[in-house]
Copies of this chain bind each other. A is one copy, B any other.
Amino acid sequence: MNDEQLHAMRHSLAHITAAAVQRIWPDAKFGVGPVVENGFYYDIDLGERKISEANFAKIEKEMRGIISYGDDFERFEMPIDQAIDWARQNNQPYKEELLNDLKRSGTTIAKDLDANELGLATEGDAAVETVSFYKNGNFVDLCRGPHVANTKDVGAFKLLRVAGAYWRGNEKNPQMQRLYGVAFATQEELDQYLERLEQAKLRDHRKLGKELDLYTISNLVGPGLPLFTPRGTVLRDIMSTYSNQLRQRYGFQKVFTPHITKKELYETSGHWAKFGDELFLVTSQETSDNFALKPMNCPHHTQIYVSQPRSYKDMPIRYLETTTDYRDEKTGELGGLNRVRSLTQDDSHVFARPDQIEQEIHNLLSSARELYDTIGMKLRVRLSYRDDGEGYLGEMALWETAQAQLKNAVIANELEYFEQEGEAAFYGPKIDFMATDAIGREHQVATVQLDFVQPERFGLTYTDQEGKDAQPVMIHCALLGSIERFLSVFIEHTGGWFPLWAAPEQIRILTINDQVLPYVDEIKAVLSSVVLDKPVKFNELRFTVDDRNESLGKKIREATNWKIPVQLIVGPQDQESRQVSVRTQAGEEKVSLDALADYLKAL
């Protein structure tokens, strides 16, 4: 089934949903019923009556009844004034309002309601003279179509949830009930989708973030500004340490820059004109300088570059900084760690000679591949080029060369890729990395961006072999991207069962009774001596002991709720045989104390 067929099917199901609701509650007034990702919805006004999930079985039963009748979807047209009469006679005031708007101008509706999704005729700004309707059985609806031929052709579906929604998205309008359904060509696909949804709910990083005590949001500090608890901080640190160590192996050097800057820095870089309204503005009460919180680090890094004369022999110069940037995101768009105002970027900048571009891109692609291999996520890249639009800085010829070089490096690295115009940054083309998580969702993560503009704006130079001033290129790269956002992906990817090297609490020793405490001291001595070296170097084991006077069952349950990857169960028999029971997600096995260190290192 192709996308158009799927779309028609889902749209037909929206009509069938409305038809079923009308059979149950004949006074229902209908808004719009568009197709959305994986399904459809219909906005319904039932007055004081509330639809709840308890009603879903009844509505679905009616829908199945309508489908089994096997009525055709019949299209017919009506002059607009006659259609308005139809709406009035059928007590459908929302349809009447839409028709009146259509009579005046098609695009008014398009703006409010994304009319492409509504099945309404919306070509141009002209007034509409004739509108189309679709009819299946008794149910008639104003609609642009297309639909499936017959109600039997609608595949597998399920009503999913109901939520309040203001008519036309405006909170001054009446609140309607938006009834969502999902639909797929086959029952198998639907089941897979529902299973994935269930999985995603269980893995929701906001839920796990609370259960595993990783971060907190404070009303006094503000939305989108998460505070990381000791456990969450271990997770953050291990990720940023990994990214830092990895990049240092790839030749990068750490630098450190402040979180604020005078506005002049962004005026010079061009960000002020382009992104000024996304900046947090900072006012000094002591000086008249205007400051901003940094939303990115490239302009700061240029200032370290220019602090010394540079020669062609010094190039490339590679800086890394994992630092928190601030972006003035809309409050309504903030959620968990996925979109925050304080985003910590594992940022890198290369200052290179033009003849070093391809080698440096290659270096960065290799580092990104290594990182996501370790994380266990498959990568796909998008090559983002400029389009013919305005706002791109730099000469067209430079753009074309650069875009070709990026593509070459991607092909040389055998990365799966696709190309997209109009997605470039204003200063150059880029490569965006998408990583697929354990339940098949794709997330945008790393990015590599070429930049011919900032070196010019900041007057960056190096002395070339002839002793003349030459202009370097800049390459921006973030591997994890925003650590907060990456953690939201990583938590959901792992379902909170972090790999041993990353887990905040890696090992918990569970005692069966107090008799084993001297033996526990020996085990602790072994654990204290273990330092993991892969993928994070110098990763000392993080372990605790649960020697409370509680049942082993309770101790195991608690350790499992904390999703601690390794539980070491120690009883009198273990003490006697100088063994421990190692319990992991893979099962439980006995390991001798002498072999424990090597066993853990190999996990």
Residues in A lying within 8 Å of B, measured CB to CB: 213, 216, 218-222, 225-230, 232-234, 236-237, 253-262, 264-265, 268, 277-287, 289, 291, 293, 299-300, 303-304, 306-308, 319, 324, 326, 328-331, 341-342, 537-538
Contact = CB atoms under 8 A, between A and B. Distances in A.
Counting chain B CB atoms within 10 Å of each CB, the highest count among A236, A261, A319, A537 belongs to A261
Contacts of A256: 227-228, 232-233, 236
A319 B255 contact: no
B291 A280 contact: yes
Contacts of A219: 264
B260 A225 contact: yes
Counting chain B CB atoms within 10 Å of each CB, the highest count among A230, A256, A280 belongs to A256
12 contacts: A218-B303, A218-B306, A220-B262, A222-B262, A222-B291, A227-B257, A229-B255, A230-B253, A232-B256, A233-B255, A281-B285, A282-B293
A285 B328 contact: yes
Counting chain B CB atoms within 10 Å of each CB, the highest count among A280, A308, A329, A537 belongs to A280
A593 to B, nearest CB: 25
A258 B319 contact: no
Contact of A254 (B230, B268, B330, B342): B230
Copies assembled: 2
A326 B286 CA distance: 13
A365 to B, nearest CB: 24
Contacts of A282: 280-283, 293
Given A259-B326, A259-B342, 5 more contacts: A227-B300, A229-B307, A230-B253, A278-B285, A284-B328
B229 A324 contact: no
A277 B281 contact: no
A228 to B, nearest CB: 4
A258 B236 CA distance: 13
Contact of A228 (B255, B330, B538): B255
A286 B229 contact: no
Contacts of A537: 538
Counting chain B CB atoms within 10 Å of each CB, the highest count among A236, A282, A328, A537 belongs to A282
Contacts of A268: 220
Contacts of A253: 230, 233
A119 to B, nearest CB: 33
A284 to B, nearest CB: 5
Nearest to A256: B228
B227 A258 contact: yes
B230 A255 contact: yes
Q: Which 6 A-B pairs have the closest CB atoms?
A: A216-B307, A230-B253, A538-B538, A218-B303, A258-B342, A228-B256
A329 B255 contact: no
Nearest to A342: B258
Contacts of A326: 259-260
A245 to B, nearest CB: 10
Given A280-B284, A308-B213, A538-B538, A293 B229 contact: no
Contact of A283 (B280, B287, B289, B306): B280
A328 B288 CA distance: 12
A321 to B, nearest CB: 8
A549 to B, nearest CB: 13
Contacts of A213: 307-308
A255 B308 CA distance: 36
Nearest to A225: B258
B254 A221 contact: no
A222 B289 contact: yes
A272 to B, nearest CB: 12
A4 to B, nearest CB: 38
